[in-house]
Structure 1
Amino acid sequence: MTRDFRLLAAGQGFSWLGNAFQTVALAVAVITTGDGARDLGLVMATNILTLLAGTLFGGIWADRLQPQRVMVASDAIRFAATAGIAAMFATGGYHLTLLCVLTVVSAGAGSFFNPAMSALKPLLVPAEDRQKANATLSLLQSMCGVAGPATAGITVAVFGAPAGFAINAVSFLASLAAVAMIRVRAPRGPRASAIHELRSGWREISSRSWLFSNLMGASVYHVANGVILVLVQIVAFERLGGAHAIGWIAAAEGLGGVIGSAIGIRLRPRRLLFAGLLALPLMSVWAFAYVWPGTLAAIMIGAVIGYAGLLFYDVAWDTSLQENVPHRALGRVSSWDYMTSFVAMPIGNALAGPLSDRFGIDRVLTVCGCVLLVASTAMLLVPASRRLTRTGQPAPDPLSPHTDPLPAAVMPVDPMPDPVTAKSG
């Protein structure tokens, strides 16, 4: 792998470790000092809503500027906001409004980081190495998911939630320093209006049936997932042992990610997206384990199985985007991906408390697990998702430094016409 890729991996490794501390610290701090599921759901919904509000603009600027510049600015802002959260809990003054404000600042910066990173990744390695690079980053993230939560659970249990937030703040500085040293430069063309660029990015999506259908299916998936992500924290804290249980379950999720990512490095099926979609329904096993048998050991096994499927799907999805979407639009397409995939999650976060109060946690988790299973399976019904084949090359894009013109015989083919490409010709 190239020097620039190693820098990105190193910076993100520190950041992903820090995120594990943030996850545990937030759940413990809000549940112990706030109003349980309602406050936690509100904070999580605030985070997601802010990400959604800023993501499309983040995609525009990721395609306009050098991605590194966007990422460095984002890390600096997130450092300041997370340090503020740490200071708030350290001084013993829990204020839900202030926590939501700082969450808005941090998530707003993060909404620019994610599309920029999506635009940067394919520039760091040759086209034939992109699946391996995606899987390597996924593997690193999953390994951090194994080491981070267990360590975070112990750290938060011993030193308190403020220590977890402080460690996460420092991790943003490490990411900032690494990204700032990346040398690769993305060629940038002339700018158009923001509305025109957003519509252009959407046309890249709507002209590809596999891409459009997967985004719509993921939106339904995340309605249920938004509810689940709140309630499983409550179950782990109240029934399974508190911060230690949250940490061990998160570690099991990370171990599952390691397995799924390792498979992504080794397994290179011709129909990569189809293989990923076959693995995605395994996430329902994780959700059902909280209801039956409901033991910590069973939930950890379900987490390993579910997250192995999820992370392999993520590798397949990222590689499919990089091979079939021109790099000039990748930031905007990624931003639409983030927005449409998670547009329903804040609704799920906000409904978690009221639904569990009325119907009970176990019943709500069972129904939501069924929704995960149905939504992920439904994506397989789209013929283009089953037929999309790997080429080992990116989509034709004369602005990409790693792209050579492809002969017609090996150009990626989508069953639906691409009006953007057709008009540009």
Structure 2
Amino acid sequence: MTRDFRLLATGQGLSWLGNAFQTVALAVAIVTTTGGGARDLGLVMAANVLTLLTGTLFGGVWADRLQPQHVMVGSDLIRFGATAAIAAMFATGGYHLALLCALTVVSAGAGSFFSPAMSALKPLLVPAEDRQKANATLSLLQSACGVAGPVTAGLTVAAFGAPAGFTINAVSFLASMVAAAMIRVRAPRGPRSSVRRELSAGWREIRSRDWLLTNLIGASVYHIGNGVILVLVQVVAFQRLGGAHAIGWIAAAEGLGGVIGSAVGMRFRPRRLLFAGLLALPLMSVWAFAYVWPGTLAAVMIGAVIGYAGLLFYDVAWDTSLQENVPHRALGRVSSWDYLASYLAMPVGNALAGPLEGRFGVDRVLTVCAVVLFTASVSMLLAPGCRRLVRTGVPAPENDQAPKTVASADRTAPIQA
């Protein structure tokens, strides 16, 4: 891998670890400060999600206007300042809910610019034929941080308090910022138009590709069902499977599945990569249904390994397909629409979980949601482009709006078997 890719991986690895400290520290800080804190924690989380929803599309525009690493540096600098201020607030005992929400909005607003910029930067860092391996490497790194981060964060916050967790997260943003600032690659940039026109142009890129539009719609439905599941499985694990002990084992199994899926993505290079990813995605329904039947901790852990392996392999396939088939001039904006679908759909599912469980019971709701995951995943295969899109190993032409399919691909292109 190239020097620039190693810099990105190092900075992001530290940042992903730091995010785990933020999650643990926020919950502990609010609970210990307010003596319960469900209301305050909910408001802070809502402020975070609403800000992401508001800012993500604009982040995509600026990722396509500027050098993406410059957007990342600015985002990390702002997030460092906001997180350091949160750490100082709790360290000095000056807790104010309004100030915490304001700082969360600042941090989330900067973060909404970071993700599309990183999506625009990744394909520039390695040769086109190595993009799948690079995406799988980052996915593997993120999965590993997802396992190690919460454990390390829990021990640190328990020993030194919530301000230490916020401080570590702030330092991780500095590390990410330094790494991004050292990246040398430069993206070609064309003339600008109005924000509205550039947003519309990004949406036209999506509409012109049936595989892209179908995946965006299918993923939105998928994330609503998954949002319900992610709430209810915590309840089931705590009440039926052994409490906090079970939750920890299940989280470890999910992380192991993610590592396996990412590792498969490094080595398995089918010609129709997106099709292969979509065949793996329905495996998540196995994980969801395992909570209902057979409903044992061992079964749920096995389901978690299987499901998350499928999910992470799909993620690798999806990222690689975007990078090979969407012109780079629009990649930030297309990615921002993708992020927006997730940010919007997941909270909807989270909010529906409680009312649905109260009316129909947890097992019925989990069963239906498992079916939703399966149906949403399989339905994406109805689009011809999802079945026919082939790997090219070369970047998409900047003036191209037609996906490469089995029927129309240039047979002289270097297809990876």
In structure 1, the partner of 2:55 is: 54
Can you list the C-alpha shifts for 1:329-351, whole angstroms capped at 9, x where unaligned? 11111111111343222222333
Contact 1:42 1:349 in 2 (8 A): no
Partner of 2:406: none
Stretches of structure 1 lacking an aligned partner (at least 5 in a row): 400-406, 413-425
Conserved 8 A contact 1:216-1:341:
no
User: 1:2-401, aligned counterparts within 5 Å?
Assistant: 2-27=2-27, 33-34=35-36, 36=38, 43-90=44-91, 97-235=98-236, 246-397=247-398
The 1:189–1:280 alpha-carbon spacing in structure 2 relative to 1, beyond 3 Å, is same
With the length of structure 1 as denominator, give the TM-score of the two structures. Answer: 0.85
Q: CA 1:156–1:115 in structure 2 vs 1: closer, same or farther (change >3 Å)?
A: same
Question: Percent of counterpart pairs with the same letter?
Answer: 82
Unaligned runs of 5+ in 2: 401-408
Distance in 2 between residues matched to 1:157 and 1:5, nearest whole Å:
35
Q: Deviations over 1:56-104 (max 9, x none)?
A: 1101100111111110111122223333444455566766554443332
Structure 1 residue identity aligned to 2:196: I
Does the Cα contact within 8 Å between 2:222 and 2:376 map onto a contact in 1?
yes
Aligned-partner Cα distance in 1 for 2:388–2:265: 19
Query: Per the alignment, do residues 82 and 366 of structure 1 end up closer, same or farther by CA in structure 2, a change over 3 Å counting?
Result: farther
- 1:23 maps to amino acid: T
- Counterpart code for 1:299: V
- Paired residues of 2:277 and 2:317 also in contact (CA < 8 A): yes
Mapped partners of 2:106, 2:338: distance in 1: 21
In the alignment, the residues of structure 2 paired with residue 47 and residue 315 of structure 1 have an alpha-carbon distance, to the nearest angstrom, of 26
2:352 aligned partner, one-letter code = L
CA–CA separation in structure 2 for the residues paired with 1:253 and 1:243: 15
Deviation for aligned residue 1:376: 1.4
Question: After superposition, what is the alpha-carbon deviation per residue over 1:112-144, rounded to whole angstroms, capped at 9, x for unaligned?
Answer: 000000110111111111111111111111122
**Alignment-derived partner of residue 403 in structure 1:** none
- Provide the rounded CA distance (Å) in 2 between the counterparts of 1:87 and 1:237: 34
Stretch moving more, 309-318 or 224-233:
224-233
The Cα RMSD (Å) is 2.9
Pick closer, same or farther for the CA change 1:305–1:161 going to 2, 3 Å: farther
Taking structure 1 as reference, are residues 180 and 398 closer, same or farther at Cα in structure 2, changes over 3 Å only? farther
CA contact (8 A) 2:257 2:306 kept: yes
Q: Which amino acid letter does the alignment assign opposite residue 81 of structure 2?
A: A
Do the aligned partners of 2:52 and 2:343 also contact (CA within 8 Å) in 1? no
Between 98-107 and 8-17, the greater mean CA deviation after superposition: 98-107
Q: Once structures 1 and 2 are overlaid, which stretch shifts more, 387-396 or 240-249?
A: 240-249
2: distance between equivalents of 1:246 and 1:128? 39
Matched length: 404
Displacement of 1:5: 0.6
Q: Kindly provide the amino acid, as one letter, of the partner of residue 83 in structure 1.
A: A
TM-fit CA distance, 1:291: 4.0
Distance 1:229 1:217 in 2: 18
8 Å Cα contact 1:395/1:411 also seen in 2: no
Tell whether the 8 Å contact from 1:149 to 1:251 is kept in structure 2 after alignment: no
How far apart, in 2, do the equivalents of 1:189 and 1:105 lie? 29
Q: Which residue of structure 2 lines up, in the alignment, with residue 404 of structure 1?
A: none
- Are residues 253 and 184 of structure 1, via their aligned partners in 2, closer, same or farther at CA, if it must alter by over 3 Å? same
Given that 1:283 and 1:373 are in contact with CA atoms closer than 8 Å, whether structure 2 keeps it comes out as yes
Give the AA of the match of 1:317: W
- 1:312 counterpart letter in structure 2: F
**One-letter identity of the residue aligned with 1:328:** R
The 3-state SS of whatever aligns with 2:191 is coil
AA partner of residue 19 (structure 2): N
TM-score, normalised on structure 2? 0.87
Give the stretch that moved more between structures: 59-68 or 78-87: 78-87
